[in-house]
Structure 1
């Protein structure tokens, strides 16, 4: 595989890499390090376009590594995230999701042929 500047296999996912990876990571374990130094290990439940995320079965570790908390559920604001560690097999899954989304967009747009869609009552 060829790799682009972002390190991803050149298959069109470079432009949307972080969000495509997060969508693909839903249900997977991940590690989130915050700018303040705390880390959260848990399973991704959901994420949005701002990388805000909900995790379940979370273990939070203080930045000094001496305190631990077990949380059933937590919300992390995307702007507080410094680092994410995702499962290594996620790149392939993200590429598949991106291809499906592109295909759905093409299916939604296409299929009219020439002459239709002129608009404005013509």
Structure 2
């Protein structure tokens, strides 16, 4: 499962984001983009020491990468387990749909019936 897929599914849901410096942000995910820039609403920020707390209406966390060196501030994101399970199931369903659309049959091969062989057919009987 890709992190961006999970973040897109978590929009308008509660999320916890911890930065590499130890600060944490708890809020509702409003938006995220391909660079993992995150916008949270109704945010509670906790200092790295855990002794100070701030409440913010909105917060923007930059998660971009520049060139080959990852400069992301985000250490990890925590979402509800039920959301992770739902995303996993939807990805599995989408994978099965792609396979069905690609012409796969019961035995997992494309083209033709599952009962037929893959030999030379009628030409092999002439010899």
2:35 to 26, 39, 50: 50
Which structure: larger Rg?
A: 2
5+ unaligned residues in a row in structure 1: which ranges? 1-13, 108-122
**Aligned residue for 2:74?**
81
Cα-Cα RMSD: 2.4
Number of residue pairs matched by the alignment:
91
Quote the Cα distance in structure 2 between the aligned partners of 1:38 and 1:26. Answer: 21
Give me the TM-score of the superposition, normalised by structure 2. 0.63
Give me the TM-score of the superposition, normalised by structure 1. 0.65
Match status 1:41 vs 2:20: no
Contact 1:20 1:97 in 2 (8 A): no
Quote the Cα distance in structure 1 between the aligned partners of 2:74 and 2:92. Answer: 23
Q: CA deviation at 1:97?
A: 6.9
What are the superposed Cα offsets for residues 37-76 of structure 1, whole Å, 9 maximum, x if unpaired?
Answer: 1000000000001111000000000000011000000000
5+ unaligned residues in a row in structure 2: which ranges? 64-71, 102-127
Contact 1:24 1:97 in 2 (8 A): no
Distance 1:99 1:50, change over 3 A: farther
**Aligned residue for 2:113?**
none
Contact 1:23 1:94 in 2 (8 A): no
Spell out structure 1 runs of 4+ moving beyond 4 A. 97-100
Q: How does 1:1-122 map to 2 (within 5 A)?
A: 14=1, 17-78=2-63, 79-95=72-88, 96=90
Q: CA deviation at 1:91?
A: 2.4
